[in-house]
Structure 1
Amino acid sequence: MTPNYARPEMARIWTTAFKYATVVAVELAVCEAYARRGLIPSDAMNRIRRHARVDDDRIPALEQRTRHELVAILTNLEERLGSDSRFLHMGLTSSDVLDTVLALQLRSAADLLIAAEVSLCDLLRCLASAQTVELQHGHPAQSDPRGLSRAATGWLDEAQRNVSRLRRARDIISVGKISGAVGNFAHVDPAIEVEVCSGLGLEPALAANQIIQRDRHAEYCVSLAISASSLERILRELPNFAATQRVDLAGAAFCSLFDSWTLGGGGGVSALAHVVRANALAALQNVALWHERDLSHSSVERLILPDSTMILDYLLDVTIHLLRTTMDSDTRA
């Protein structure tokens, strides 16, 4: 994602540093579960807790050699832990860790998006209840049914549904997998999965193979796409209330709104919703894989999941900014 559309808090979730730290957190959670069963000696577990850190700058060099991101992370942990590293990753497959990490990333992203969407609803609620007038031949007259407050009522209704969709998306994606290769628990106790997922605030996958089923990620991405489309609607319609003689919000300075719109680049950024919708299609195409150990979804998700969450986060910020400018111009008028 180009830095122009990546806000810091959301972008941080998709940094390698955040991912590596989350991988370590998942591996430690599994070790803790084993240690509670006496499968890892207490002195070894204490050393693992103290020293299980990764060198973010070292991992890319290791990945060049191993050609596998998780193996590179585990190799770096082995360099730090020495012989205690034998207790890491016991009974697991790569997707146990990576899919669980991805669930934690997507849940964190959803938390930011839900908070922003709720803020948008609060703003639209104020805008929908505001008095609006329209200039006719230079004199105030009653606003027609297409006034800004009525438009905001429709936007609010839609935004509230988007809050519900995003909350469901957060729930549907908050699932972890600690079941080993092809998900058959051949080398890990199912109770370990329950315990680890519970500690991470996730639900264990009811049924998984090599990976967590991708209908969850598809639903998540479709929810993002619908929310982005709703924002595109607002960003396309909003300039209409500042482009002619109409003045909304009790005589607001529509020129201020129009300038804010133009300088803010709203007309251009609204087209970013197209990218989120296209990414949703890619997520839908990931649902059907060729084989239970097919990992072809992975490369696609490395692009579409960070991009879609960051774009929606950015669109929410732009929309909220422009709506606040609308209301601020009314206050100054």
Structure 2
Amino acid sequence: MSHDTYDNPLISRYASREMARLWGAQKKFSTWRRLWVALAESEAELGLPITAAQIDELKAHVDDIDFDAAASYEKKLRHDVMAHVHTYGDACPGAKAIIHLGATSNFVVDNADAILLRESLELVRRRLVSVIAALADFAKQHRALPTLGFTHLQPAQPTTVGKRATLWCYDLVLDLQEIEHRLTVLKARSVKGTTGTQASFLELFEGDHAKCRELERRVAEKMGFTDSYAVTGQTYPRKVDAQVLECLGGVAASAHKATSDLRLLANRKEIEEPFEASQIGSSAMPYKRNPMRSERIGGIARFVMSLSQNGAATHATQWMERTLDDSANRRLSLPQAFLGVDAVLVIYENVARGMVVYPKVVERHLAEELPFMITENVLMEAVKAGGDRQELHELIRQHSQAAGAVVKQEGKPNDLLSRLRGDKAFAAVDLSEIADPSKLVGRSPEQVDEFLAEVVGPILGRLGGDRAEQEELRV
């Protein structure tokens, strides 16, 4: 490994080896060669003079790519596809004359990218299922643990730790639906020709339109697609890239949201991400337990989210049948978006499987705010016991203002319940019963159970056997 030049941290630090291989040179150019084989096979099947020996020769050299030779050709020709055509031809002299027959560069570029998009989306799907399963386990474990809810980042009606985790989980469920939709509608470019008119193939088949259509169907099928895009210019619609990047940005946003919550909860010392025995939180402050994994998710997620706009801009600037300013951009945006999402989900699963809850801290924080939250319940019970609603309301208001002043001005615990207990107007009210946190979380525990059974259960039943293996974090 060279230490003299920039090394992309998505490769060296964050993403999985599996995703890195998917977007590596070997995978890309072997896929190009498989496409040339599929094209030659299909053309031969439809009557063009291509021999079985030529096809066998092509198949025999799909993976043994001479990258040095390809680089030399590209330096001379300034054309990456033709560089690899010549390199493949050198390895297959008997088939050299029929490699890339009738095709334009984007036959291999776009069809290979469609395959890479499909396989990468499948990996993202597996990783999503793994994180969903981890969050589901956490939600089940803490389904009934009352905790302070927040709206506007201000104390609100109690929820449970498990219910809050279902919110994080459901975001990923919605992302999974989008990923699966993208997989469903993804198609091959197949064989469309230089400007999408199939003119070169019509010439090869001497005006036979049916054979042109059949060639397109066969090549797409050999690539593992059931269909190809109805019409294209030179490329498949760059709208597809924009849609995929938007989808990946959605996954990143979900992870960012959840781990932002976790960072806030870590600040409150209620929940922490995993922290290893020898891990250092700060070079200057030895006591620190910084939520660095959640922070890393947020940092990478923002990068991925930014690429959504990039895809839309590239699509918007594709003039007429195509312009080449998409090429360099896509070499950056597509792989890095997938590597980024992969990294986010690898770290997210690690966090979700190792989150630590501190119930006593959760309980204390809830107790600090609970007296104010139950005042309406206290009012109703006191009215039922025969009190005057307006007089009781004023008493509670006065006691609440006094208790609030003690908390804010003197830094002392909330003593509202003590004040109410000492007021004979509320003597008939069982304040201990009303202040039981488990009675204030509504249907949170049942909602967790229903969510896990009705939403997560079917997903794990359908896809749980195809989860991604849990990756070990490298940093």
Of 95-104 and 291-300, deviating more is 291-300
Of 174-183 and 158-167, deviating more is 174-183
How has the CA–CA distance of structure 1 residues 239 and 85 changed in structure 2, closer, same or farther, with 3 Å as cutoff?
same
Aligned-partner Cα distance in 2 for 1:48–1:66: 23
Within the alignment, does 1:287 sit opposite 2:302 as a pair? no
Secondary structure in 2 matching 1:46 = helix
> Which position in structure 1 is the counterpart of 2:127?
116
Q: TM-score, normalised by structure 2?
A: 0.62
Secondary structure in 2 matching 1:270 = helix
Contact 2:274 2:351 (8 Å CA) reproduced:
no
Contact 1:134 1:245 (8 Å CA) reproduced:
no
Aligned-partner Cα distance in 2 for 1:294–1:196: 25
Deviations 1:94-123 (A, max 9, x none): 011110000011111111100010111112
Contact 2:248 2:304 (8 Å CA) reproduced:
yes
Within the alignment, does 1:31 sit opposite 2:44 as a pair? no
Match of 1:97 among 90, 105, 108: 108
Within the alignment, does 1:234 sit opposite 2:264 as a pair? no
Counterpart of 2:349, as a letter, is I
Secondary structure in 2 matching 1:184 = coil
Contact 1:116 1:317 (8 Å CA) reproduced:
yes
Deviations 1:165-193 (A, max 9, x none): 11112233342331111111112222111
How much does 1:327 deviate? 6.3
How much does 1:15 deviate? 0.8
> Which position in structure 2 is the counterpart of 1:197?
220
**Aligned residue-pair number:** 318
How much does 1:128 deviate? 1.9
Aligned-partner Cα distance in 2 for 1:219–1:271: 22
> Which position in structure 2 is the counterpart of 1:19?
28
Contact 2:15 2:346 (8 Å CA) reproduced:
no
Contact 1:181 1:210 (8 Å CA) reproduced:
yes
How much does 1:270 deviate? 1.0
Deviations 1:6-33 (A, max 9, x none): 3210010111111110000110011111
Contact 2:40 2:98 (8 Å CA) reproduced:
yes
* Aligned counterparts, 1:128-277, within 5 A: 128-131=139-142, 133=145, 145-188=158-201, 189-202=212-225, 203-244=227-268, 246=270, 254=272, 262=290, 264-277=292-305
Secondary structure in 2 matching 1:57 = helix
How much does 1:41 deviate? 2.0
Counterpart of 1:312, as a letter, is V
How has the CA–CA distance of structure 1 residues 228 and 42 changed in structure 2, closer, same or farther, with 3 Å as cutoff?
same
How has the CA–CA distance of structure 1 residues 327 and 178 changed in structure 2, closer, same or farther, with 3 Å as cutoff?
farther
Secondary structure in 1 matching 2:319 = coil
Aligned-partner Cα distance in 2 for 1:239–1:50: 53
Contact 2:273 2:294 (8 Å CA) reproduced:
no
Aligned-partner Cα distance in 2 for 1:97–1:245: 53
Structure (1 or 2) with the larger CA radius of gyration: 2
Counterpart of 1:21, as a letter, is S
Contact 2:145 2:162 (8 Å CA) reproduced:
no
How much does 1:66 deviate? 1.3
Deviations 1:150-177 (A, max 9, x none): 2111112111100011111223334233
RMSD (CA atoms): 2.6
Contact 1:44 1:84 (8 Å CA) reproduced:
yes
Contact 1:257 1:326 (8 Å CA) reproduced:
no
Aligned-partner Cα distance in 2 for 1:35–1:23: 18
Counterpart of 2:175, as a letter, is N
Contact 2:190 2:216 (8 Å CA) reproduced:
yes
Contact 1:95 1:211 (8 Å CA) reproduced:
yes
Indicate the percent of aligned positions where both proteins have the same amino acid.
22
Of 18-27 and 44-53, deviating more is 44-53
Contact 1:107 1:173 (8 Å CA) reproduced:
yes
Counterpart of 1:4, as a letter, is R
Q: TM-score, normalised by structure 1?
A: 0.87
Counterpart of 1:191, as a letter, is E
> Which position in structure 2 is the counterpart of 1:72?
83
Counterpart of 1:183, as a letter, is G
How has the CA–CA distance of structure 1 residues 153 and 145 changed in structure 2, closer, same or farther, with 3 Å as cutoff?
farther
Aligned-partner Cα distance in 2 for 1:42–1:225: 46
Aligned-partner Cα distance in 1 for 2:39–2:122: 25
Match of 2:55 among 45, 62, 80: 45
Aligned-partner Cα distance in 1 for 2:99–2:305: 39
How has the CA–CA distance of structure 1 residues 74 and 149 changed in structure 2, closer, same or farther, with 3 Å as cutoff?
same
Secondary structure in 2 matching 1:262 = coil
Match of 2:348 among 315, 319, 323: 319
Aligned-partner Cα distance in 2 for 1:245–1:217: 41
Deviations 1:281-319 (A, max 9, x none): 110012231221312211111101111100100001111
